[in-house]
């Protein structure tokens, strides 16, 4: 089968389309014929081996795992003997290591049936970004109906899901994005949109019950100024590349601040669970959430797709058609 592999860390140029063996599934796994995948910041973190803490898991001098990709949507071709919930022929979406390939072995625990009202490409856009948004708002942020919620970085992959998910909880949503994304943010349901090139949300006198920060471009003191006394600040997103300390300080600073203030400051890291994929499936089927697709690339063009992602101007998700 064809798959995207890399034998060293570096720029998108290290990614190559190669012929490799089809994966052999374990007793608790399924073999999925991949129809579509999507790119995420974690793909270029592992591709570059940055920040350096990534290498403690992925390999110090070169990657232990040669294949890349996580998000996927496709069709089940075979199942392990312990798999009960899925059958060959089922259309699924979820997460599996090495998703930039024609086939992938995936655990049944991180797959769900694909929503029938969206395409494979749209379904592949959902898992990592959608789950990050859902867990960030619902679990870490304790979002409440009628709450004032601000999404900083509302036009990216996680942000476009966050705006819609927050609306599904009955919140009043303020989206922060650039000029080119203002209309899109309104179209997906934001009650208010702040163009950060014209206005600083920490300086306009508004306050919020929940701030979901995907950019982390303001100090915690500035954030606290617009966070209500019992408000919650949830931070997610990429740490500074090439730094040993930045990933640690981005976690420790909010936690330490929470010890001395009434506001809750929560760094979060999402974990893919079948139950949350099902929750997202329900939101998509009820048309409360629709994946936003920016660009589409072929499997042979994954390097170009990640290069575009690195530029930081993606509107929604960038997907790979396999």
pLDDT tens-place string over residues 217-233:
999 999 999 999 999 99
Mean pLDDT value across residues 36-53: 90
Give residue 60's pLDDT.
85
Compute the distance between CA of residue 151 and CA of residue 177 in angstroms, rounded to an integer: 9
Give residue 52's pLDDT.
80
Give residue 247's pLDDT.
54
- Residue ranges, CATH 3.40.50.720, the chain: 129-267
User: H helices within the chain, ranges in order?
Assistant: 41-48, 55-58, 120-124, 127-134, 157-168, 182-187, 220-226, 246-258, 274-285, 302-310
For residue 254, pLDDT beyond 70: no
For residue 239, pLDDT beyond 50: no
Predicted TM-score (pTM) of the model is: 0.93
Say which residue, 247 or 93, is predicted with more confidence: 93
- pLDDT band for 312, please (50, 70, 90 cuts): confident
Distances (CA, A) of 318 to 113, 141, 273: 21, 26, 22
pLDDT tens, position by position, 25-34: 999 999 999 9
Mean pLDDT of the chain: 93
Give residue 313's pLDDT.
86
Fold of 2-126+291-321: Quinone Oxidoreductase; Chain A, domain 1 (3.90.180)
So what CATH class is 129-267?
A: alpha beta
Half-sphere exposure of residue 109, counting CA atoms within 13 Å on the CB side? 6
Write the DSSP assignment of 208-227 as a string of letters. Answer: EEEEEESS--S-HHHHHHHE
Closest CA to 212 of 138, 277, 284, 272: 138
pLDDT tens, position by position, 94-114: 999 999 999 999 999 999 999
- pLDDT band for 180, please (50, 70, 90 cuts): very high
Strand partners, 211: 150, 233
Mean pLDDT value across residues 42-46: 89
Give residue 51's pLDDT.
79
Long-range contact pairs involving 18-27 (C-beta distance under 8 Å, separation at least 24): 20/67, 20/101, 22/103, 23/98, 23/103, 23/104, 23/105, 24/105, 25/78, 25/79, 25/80, 25/105, 26/80, 26/105, 27/80, 27/81, 27/82, 27/83
Give residue 249's pLDDT.
54
In Å, the largest CA–CA distance within the chain is: 59
pLDDT tens, position by position, 54-95: 888 788 889 999 999 999 999 999 999 999 999 999 999 999
Give residue 253's pLDDT.
56
Q: Omega before 127 cis (within 30°)? A: no
- Residue ranges, CATH 3.90.180.10, the chain: 2-126+291-321
Task: Give the range with max mean pLDDT: 50-54, 59-63, 162-166.
Answer: 162-166
């Amino acid at each position: 089968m064809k798959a995207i592999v890399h034998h060293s860390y570096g720029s998108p140029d290290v990614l190559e389309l190669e012929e490799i063996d089809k994966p052999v599934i374990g007793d608790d796994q399924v073999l999925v014929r991949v129809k579509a995948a999507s790119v995420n910041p974690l793909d270029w973190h592992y591709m570059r081996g940055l920040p350096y803490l990534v290498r403690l898991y992925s390999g110090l001098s070169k990657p232990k795992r040669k294949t890349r990709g996580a998000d996927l949507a496709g069709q089940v071709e075979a199942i392990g003997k312990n798999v009960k919930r899925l059958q060959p022929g089922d259309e699924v979406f979820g997460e599996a290591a090495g998703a930039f390939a024609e086939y992938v072995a995936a655990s049944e625990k991180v797959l769900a049936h694909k929503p029938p009202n969206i395409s494979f490409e749209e379904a592949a856009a959902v898992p990592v970004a959608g789950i990050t948004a859902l867990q960030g708002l619902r679990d870490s942020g304790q979002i409440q109906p009628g709450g004032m919620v601000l999404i900083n970085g509302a036009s990216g992959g996680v942000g476009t899901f966050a705006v819609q998910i927050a609306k599904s909880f009955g919140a009043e949503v303020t989206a922060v994005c650039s000029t080119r994304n203002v209309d899109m943010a309104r179209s997906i349901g934001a009650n208010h949109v702040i163009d950060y090139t014209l206005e600083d949300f920490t300086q306009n006198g508004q306050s919020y019950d929940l701030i979901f920060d995907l950019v982390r471009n303001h100090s915690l003191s500035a954030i606290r100024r617009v966070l209500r006394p019992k408000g919650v600040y949830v931070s997610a997103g990429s740490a500074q590349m090439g730094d040993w300390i930045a990933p640690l300080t981005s976690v420790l600073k909010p936690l330490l601040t929470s010890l001395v203030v009434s506001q809750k400051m929560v760094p979060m890291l999402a974990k893919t669970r079948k139950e949350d994929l099902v929750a997202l499936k329900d939101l998509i089927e009820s048309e409360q959430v629709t994946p936003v697709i920016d660009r589409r690339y072929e499997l042979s063009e994954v390097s170009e797709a990640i290069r575009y992602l690195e530029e930081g101007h993606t509107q929604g998700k960038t997907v790979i058609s396999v």
